[in-house]
Structure 1
Amino acid sequence: MRALLMGLPGAGKGTQAERIVKRYGVPHIATGDMFRRAVELGTPLGLEAKRYMDQGLLVPDEVTIGIVRERLLEPDAARGFLLDGFPRTIPQAEALEALLAELGRPLEAVLYIAVPRDDLVERLTGRRICPKCGAIYHVKFRPPRVEGICDICGTPLKQRDDDREEVVVKRLEVNAAQLEPLLAFYREKGLLYEVDGTPPVDEVTQAIFEILDRVKGTR
């Protein structure tokens, strides 16, 4: 299974990615993890990426695609992969397409978990964190037993600055503007599968599995 997972912040990509890789036995290749892995291994491209990251700069596309190539050539990706967080732009998507064609391992499916903006705002702004033990709650979906107090250690819960509504709304706008051209790119190629991300988590998972099983069955 060679797939790409897309969705706006709060859509539930992390949860679904865990379930996809467990079912299909492929690695979850997320951009941040990929960079950290390359840096830890000390590869020439990893060290070059680190030089940019240490300066707070974006890693150039040619370095990023080189790190993607290195990661896809590792043994655990031989049976497939789930890409997450890359590509972010049309040039990156085109470079990825060329790389996968060269490797003879083209994408089979692009999964987009679609959730209305208002639902995403509710999910993200309702999150609360325990500053002492790191436990995560949600005022609606996973409230603590006592409002505003951590179940585990009794510490008052906090809302992260980047979970405040004005920050969340701006973040979603920026991400949506970046995502739309990519959705159009993959839709035109017949690879895009849109999944409704609003039902319960297990129902979303089942919908994703049905798509991927169907894609596998047509190979």
Structure 2
Amino acid sequence: MNELLLIAGIFIAVLIFFRQFVRGAQCKSKTKLHGKTVIVTGSNTGIGKATAVELAMRGARVILACRNQVRGEAAVAVVKRESGSKNVVLMHLDLASLKSVRSFAQTFLKSEERLDILINNAGVFAQGTTEDGLGLMFGVNHIGHFLLTNLLLERMKESAPSRIVTVSSNLHNLGNLDLDCLRTHKEFGMGDSLIDIFKIYSHSKLCNVLFTHELAKKLQGTNVTCYSLHPGLYLTNAILV
């Protein structure tokens, strides 16, 4: 009897996990986006590329903000082919370099008149350091997007109603922040073991959520709205890009 209850409990737990994290919900909106301009970071693969295809199908002008030029060009071709839209362009963006983030923002602001949606999607799950000496995951997953968002914010206010969407993770629930580390400019987001890397990734996703929450409060009344989300489980090569 106890064994049957245990098996039943495991089955129910697996079912709940599948429904919550694997299958997830589907967007039922059919809203068209003609005349809108959207940036999707990390859009040469995975969630970012799938998002870019959907947005292009809805009529948006889609900017693929990617680090790797060759992969980015290949992604543009795929997005154009699958969406049937020609209004898809590539702009170089390396979130592991604050210089690159500033260069991207400068190029975008000179070439594009509006920005309706910014999707901070790019992310890594790997050890290393950024060009500026930050832990790679902290630098790419949070700091790079933090700077990018702030550099583009005025253009988004001019284009309002507009929105900022930051892809986080349910793993943010396992994260915490070392504020002393931030204040003293010590290396942040460094670790040696797989457990350390897992924790640092969770910390970076918590930063995404907290940033979104605070920015949403600051932007009240501007018609620029902010959202963070958990995308569900997805087979991606975030470890590699």
Give the TM-score, by structure 2 length: 0.37
> Larger relative contact order (C-alpha < 8 A, sep ≥ 6)?
1
Give the TM-score, by structure 1 length: 0.40
